[in-house]
């Protein structure tokens, strides 16, 4: 597999052809169906193209991924495909199984999720967070939503930048309005969301949830240096303040709180005083 790394496209055409011919012999002898199914989709596709002698498609697959990153996943029901060059190309002759993603793909989904804009939308007492994002999936994207989630992501998700959501994990309810449309350049889907902001004391992360190959993924939205909307005051009866900002890991967080602390009654003040004296 080291022969199919980023420098492969720079090799002379004849050298690339010879590499593919040599690999084809090895793959025919040792690359069983079980090994194929257990191999990640990126390497599996490259092996398949080499075995078929599809030198041009293999060269393009490696060069494109090196320059632009992995292609968005194509979602079809409970299956997800990585449409590298040669996908559903009769001239290449690789069936869909070669291009099907079966492994955990949290890292690729995180890399394909980009925040394009964030703004407040206010209508009287109602305040909403308007977001536009690019997500790294195409096809059946109806499961893709954005939600405000309480609590930090587990540290185990830091490396990939996202996580495969455990089946027993609590998932925040997706409220608001969502639209999904293919990106004009074909690179993913543009997801627009308008999420109502409630006048409560809370600090919540902005996260994308999407089902890929029958599994739900949770992807924290990164600000990537994009300007955030200015903090805003809203509400008349009990004014609140809302702010959008990146946390230390660069993930978008929405913070809401009353503009002023409510006045405490005599009993509450006494309890606070006693609590402070105990700590001393």
Which CATH number covers residue 135?
2.60.40
Q: Are residues 123 and 244 in the same domain?
A: yes
Count CA atoms within 13 Å of residue 70 on its CB side. Answer: 25
- Kindly state whether residue 8 falls inside one of the protein's structural domains: yes
Enumerate residues 6+ apart whose C-beta is below 8 A from 157.
106, 163, 218, 220
Write out the residue range of the structural domain in which residue 195 sits: 107-258
Q: Which of 52, 71, 103 is the last residue of a domain?
A: 103
pLDDT of residue 53: 96
Phi first, then psi, for residue 143 (nearest 5°) are -80, -15
pLDDT of residue 1: 59
C-beta separation of 42 from 70 below 8 A: yes
Q: What is the DSSP letter of 184?
A: T
First to last CA, the chain: 64
Question: What's the pTM value of the predicted model, to 2 decimals?
Answer: 0.89
Q: Are residues 124 and 230 in the same domain?
A: yes
- Kindly state whether residue 200 falls inside one of the protein's structural domains: yes
Q: Are residues 119 and 254 in the same domain?
A: yes
Q: How far apart are CA 59 and CA 62, in angstroms?
A: 5
Q: Which of 87, 103, 119 is the last residue of a domain?
A: 103
Q: Are residues 121 and 254 in the same domain?
A: yes
Count CA atoms within 13 Å of residue 25 on its CB side. Answer: 5
SS3 8: helix
Q: Are residues 127 and 252 in the same domain?
A: yes
Q: Give per-residue pLDDT as tens, 11-35.
A: 999 999 999 999 999 999 999 999 9
* Domain tally, the chain: 2
Q: Which of 37, 99, 80 is nearest to 215 (CA)?
A: 80
- Kindly state whether residue 207 falls inside one of the protein's structural domains: yes
Q: Which of 40, 70, 103 is the last residue of a domain?
A: 103
* pLDDT > 90? residue 6: no
Q: Which of 70, 248, 255 is nearest to 155 (CA)?
A: 248
Taking the C-alpha atoms of 29, 33, 35 and 40 in order, what is their torsion angle to the nearest 10 degrees?
120
Rg of the chain's alpha carbons, rounded to an integer? Answer: 25
- Kindly state whether residue 202 falls inside one of the protein's structural domains: yes
Phi first, then psi, for residue 22 (nearest 5°) are -65, -40
- Kindly state whether residue 69 falls inside one of the protein's structural domains: yes
C-beta separation of 57 from 92 below 8 A: yes
pLDDT of residue 263: 65
* pLDDT > 60? residue 265: no
Q: How far apart are CA 74 and CA 96, in angstroms?
A: 11
Phi first, then psi, for residue 74 (nearest 5°) are -95, 115
C-beta separation of 113 from 136 below 8 A: yes
Q: Are residues 113 and 96 in the same domain?
A: no
Phi first, then psi, for residue 222 (nearest 5°) are -95, 145
Q: How far apart are CA 164 and CA 153, in angstroms?
A: 12
- Kindly state whether residue 265 falls inside one of the protein's structural domains: no
C-beta separation of 87 from 81 below 8 A: yes
* pLDDT > 90? residue 46: yes
- Kindly state whether residue 203 falls inside one of the protein's structural domains: yes
Enumerate residues 6+ apart whose C-beta is below 8 A from 258.
199, 201, 238, 239, 240, 241
DSSP strand pairing (137-139 vs 73-76) = parallel
Q: Are residues 126 and 245 in the same domain?
A: yes
| 266 band by pLDDT with thresholds 50, 70 and 90 | low
Q: Are residues 130 and 240 in the same domain?
A: yes
Q: Are residues 126 and 198 in the same domain?
A: yes
Q: Are residues 143 and 202 in the same domain?
A: yes
Q: How far apart are CA 51 and CA 148, in angstroms?
A: 46
Q: What is the DSSP letter of 98?
A: G
- Kindly state whether residue 269 falls inside one of the protein's structural domains: no
Q: Are residues 74 and 139 in the same domain?
A: no
| 277 band by pLDDT with thresholds 50, 70 and 90 | low
Q: Give per-residue pLDDT as tens, 138-179.
A: 999 999 999 999 999 999 999 999 999 998 888 888 999 999
What is the CA angle 159-161-164, rounded to 5? Answer: 100
pLDDT of residue 5: 82
Least confident of 5-9, 12-16, 58-62, 265-269: 265-269
pLDDT of residue 54: 97
Q: Are residues 76 and 112 in the same domain?
A: no
pLDDT of residue 272: 59
């Amino acid at each position: 597999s080291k022969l199919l790394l980023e420098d492969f496209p720079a090799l002379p055409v004849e050298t690339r052809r010879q590499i593919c011919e040599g690999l084809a012999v090895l793959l025919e002898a040792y690359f069983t169906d079980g090994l194929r199914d257990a191999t990640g989709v990126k390497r599996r596709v490259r092996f398949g193209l080499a075995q078929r002698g599809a030198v041009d498609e293999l060269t393009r697959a490696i060069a494109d991924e090196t320059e632009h990153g992995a292609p968005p996943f194509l979602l079809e029901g409970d299956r997800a495909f990585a449409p590298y060059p040669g996908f559903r190309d009769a001239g290449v002759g690789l069936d869909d199984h070669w291009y099907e993603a079966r492994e955990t793909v949290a890292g690729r989904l995180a890399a394909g999720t980009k925040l394009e804009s964030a703004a407040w939308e206010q209508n009287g007492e109602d305040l909403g967070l308007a977001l536009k994002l690019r997500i790294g999936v195409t096809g059946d994207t109806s499961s893709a939503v954005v939600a405000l989630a309480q609590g930090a992501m587990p540290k185990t998700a830091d490396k990939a930048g996202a996580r495969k959501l455990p089946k027993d994990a609590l998932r925040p309810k997706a409220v608001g309005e969502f639209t999904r449309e293919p990106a004009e350049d074909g690179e993913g889907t543009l997801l627009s969301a308008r999420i109502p902001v409630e006048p409560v004391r809370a600090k919540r992360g902005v996260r994308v949830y999407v089902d890929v190959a029958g599994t739900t993924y949770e992807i924290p939205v990164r600000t990537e240096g994009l300007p955030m909307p200015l903090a805003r005051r809203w509400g008349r009866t009990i004014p609140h303040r809302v702010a959008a900002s990146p946390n230390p890991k660069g993930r978008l967080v929405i913070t809401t709180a009353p503009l002023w602390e409510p006045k405490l009654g005599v009993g509450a003040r006494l309890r606070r005083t006693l609590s402070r004296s105990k700590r001393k």
